[in-house]
């Protein structure tokens, strides 16, 4: 994604979001502009609906896996201390 951007956009987004987030999100689109009258930087980020659904599913899957691993840990501790 970064090679497709102009130099100033890449530097601005890198300093704001960091390279890990930018390189880790393949479906995100970022636009950088400046409000000249107010001397403010404006950043617009959006995901296409399909990518948003995929990310929501991935987040839910991670939560489910964390819950499963937490339950397994609780069961292990119960077995260890109650037996």
**In a shared domain, residues 60 and 35:** no
- pTM (2 decimals)? 0.37
- Average pLDDT for residues 8-18, to the nearest whole number? 77
What would the pLDDT profile of 22-48 be if each residue is shown by its tens digit? 776 666 677 676 666 666 777 777 667
Q: Print the domain residue range for 77.
A: 48-83
Q: Does residue 58 have a pLDDT over 70?
A: yes
**In a shared domain, residues 21 and 57:** no
Instruction: Look at residues 63, 68, 31 and name the one whose alpha carbon lies nearest to residue 46.
Output: 31
**In a shared domain, residues 1 and 35:** yes
pLDDT band, very low/low/confident/very high, at 1 (cuts 50, 70, 90): very low
**In a shared domain, residues 18 and 29:** yes
**In a shared domain, residues 41 and 27:** yes
**In a shared domain, residues 39 and 5:** yes
User: Which phi-psi region, left, alpha or beta, contains residue 39 (left: φ > 0; alpha: ψ -120 to 50)?
Assistant: left
**In a shared domain, residues 58 and 79:** yes
């Amino acid at each position: 994604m970064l090679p497709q951007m102009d130099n100033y956009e890449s530097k601005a987004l890198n300093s704001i979001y960091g390279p890990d987030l930018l390189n880790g999100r393949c479906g995100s689109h970022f636009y950088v502009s400046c409000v000249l009258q107010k001397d403010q930087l404006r950043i617009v980020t959006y995901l296409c609906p399909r990518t948003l659904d995929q990310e929501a599913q991935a987040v839910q899957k991670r939560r489910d896996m964390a819950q499963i691993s937490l339950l397994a840990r609780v069961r292990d501790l119960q077995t260890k201390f109650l037996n």
